[in-house]
Amino acid sequence: MKTLNEKLYENLLENADKMTDEWLSNRILKLGSVYSAAAGDDAVKMLRKQNRLTIRSIATRLSGQTGQFEAMKRKWAELVAESRIRSNTPIHEVFDAVMRFRTVYWSFIERFIRANNEEVQRTDVLRWGSEMNQAFDELFHEFSRSYHEMTEERLIAQQTLIRELGTPVIKIDWERGILPLIGDIDTDRARILKMTVPERCAQLDIIHLFIDLSGVSIIDTMVAQQMFEFTQILSLLGIRSTITGIRPEIAQTSIHLGLDFNSIATYSSLQQALENTPDSKR
């Protein structure tokens, strides 16, 4: 004979589509939101699929299957977090949607209680209410953690890409590479150059780096100092530097600072530098 918990579990799963329909019917119009009443068929299909997992997860917790609930909780959190990040859905919208569905979920438990009034005890009602609320809280806590971790990973990946685009080391033959710098170089960018370029040169086995400044319009005194330190770091690593395309005002700034670039070859253009320093392994 089935226990009351088992009956509730089966009842909730049998009514999963009705629960989702009722939840979706309460949506409002909100431009660009995946939860909007105007969301397309693909968004609705996704919400239905994910909501079935929500229903199963909570029902599993109510039936006393704690271990299975923990596994489903992690699966649900990762699935929904990845989906909402992909759709650029802010976390407060997810919270609002979950809270609205919590109300719908309890209304179906109430219907089960009324349909089984003779069998259901007051302690059952209190326990289900407590378990359901705790299960929803745990789902959202796990979702928040996954959302944060995935957002951080995405941010780190974007920052890495930005650094790589801002410091593009291009290997052109056996031992030579080019670092074409474009735009203004401020203190932060100069610091990133010192941190990333030497490591990138080591990865590519570059021992001669051409630093092309023809696309750089402004370098202030502090940055000129850091650029000098940058070439010194390369030198300590056994990487020879050649500077090309340096503008007169940048050269004057360096001289006023007393920076000694005599140990570094300089050329007016990258083409001229490459022609005068052929690949030694040819």
Note the pLDDT tens digit of each residue in 100-129. Answer: 999 999 999 999 999 999 999 999 999 999
Question: What is the spatial distance between Cα 255 and Cα 202, in angstroms, rounded to a whole number?
Answer: 30
Distance, CA of 89 to chain centre: 13
Alpha helix positions (H), the chain: 4-14, 16-25, 41-62, 66-86, 91-115, 122-166, 187-204, 221-236, 248-257, 270-276
Q: Cα 42 to chain center, whole Å?
A: 23
pLDDT digits (tens, 9 = 90+) for 192-216: 888 889 988 999 999 999 999 888 7
Q: How many CB atoms are closer than 10 A to CB 79?
A: 16
CA neighbor of 115 nearest in space, from 206, 204, 7: 7
| pLDDT surpassing 70 at residue 54 | yes
CA distance 20 to 174: 62
Lowest mean pLDDT among 121-125, 133-137, 174-178, 245-249: 245-249
Cβ of 136: how many Cβ atoms within 10 Å?
20
- 55/101 Cα distance (integer angstroms): 10
Among residues 146, 198, 147, the alpha carbon closest in space to that of 169 is found at 198
Model confidence at 161: pLDDT above 70:
no
